[in-house]
Amino acid sequence: MTTFRKVNIIVVLLALVIFFLVLHHNLLGLSDILKREGSDLGFLTLKQLDFIPDAPKSLDDRMEQEIPVVLTAVEERLGGIVAAMNSISTNTRSKIVFHIVVANNTVDHLRAWLSGTELKNLKYKILDFDPHILEGKIRVDPDQAESIKPLTFARFYLPNLLPDAEKVIYLDDDVIVQDDILELYNTPLKPGHAAAFSEDCDLISSKFLVRGAGNQYNYIGFLDYKKERIRKLGLKASTCSFSPGVFVANLTEWKQQNITEQLEKWMKLNMVEDLYSRTLAGSITTPPLLIVFYKKHSVLDPMWHVRHLDP
Q: Dihedral through CA 109, CA 98, CA 194, CA 192, nearest 10?
A: 170
How many angstroms separate the most distant Cα atoms in the chain?
A: 129
Is residue 255 a contact partner of residue 163, using CB atoms and an 8 Å limit? no
Closest to 263 in 3D by CA, of 299, 230, 289:
289
Q: Dihedral through CA 152, CA 153, CA 158, CA 160, nearest 10?
A: -130
Q: How many CA atoms lie within 13 A of 168 on its CB side?
A: 26
- CB proximity list for 281: less than 8 A, separation 6 or greater: 144
- CB proximity list for 151: less than 8 A, separation 6 or greater: 72, 73, 74, 101, 102, 103, 129
Closest to 180 in 3D by CA, of 272, 117, 89:
89
Closest to 157 in 3D by CA, of 177, 136, 127:
127
Tally DSSP H helices, then E strands, for the chain. Answer: 10, 7
Q: Over 80: is that where the pLDDT of 149 sits?
A: yes
Which fold does the domain 65-186 belong to in CATH?
A: Spore Coat Polysaccharide Biosynthesis Protein SpsA; Chain A (3.90.550)
- The segment(s) of the chain belonging to CATH 3.90.550.10 are 65-186
Q: What pLDDT, in 10s, does the model give residues 33-79?
A: 444 444 343 332 223 323 333 334 444 555 568 999 999 998 888 88
Q: What pLDDT, in 10s, does the model give residues 217-226?
A: 899 999 999 9
Q: What pLDDT, in 10s, does the model give residues 79-136?
A: 889 999 999 999 999 999 999 999 877 888 888 878 877 788 899 999 999 999 999 9
pLDDT-derived band at 1, boundaries 50, 70, 90: very low
Q: Which residues of 30-68 are buried (b: 16+ CB within 10 A; e: fewer)?
A: eeeeeeeeeeeeeeeeeeeeeeeeeeeeeeeeeeeeebb
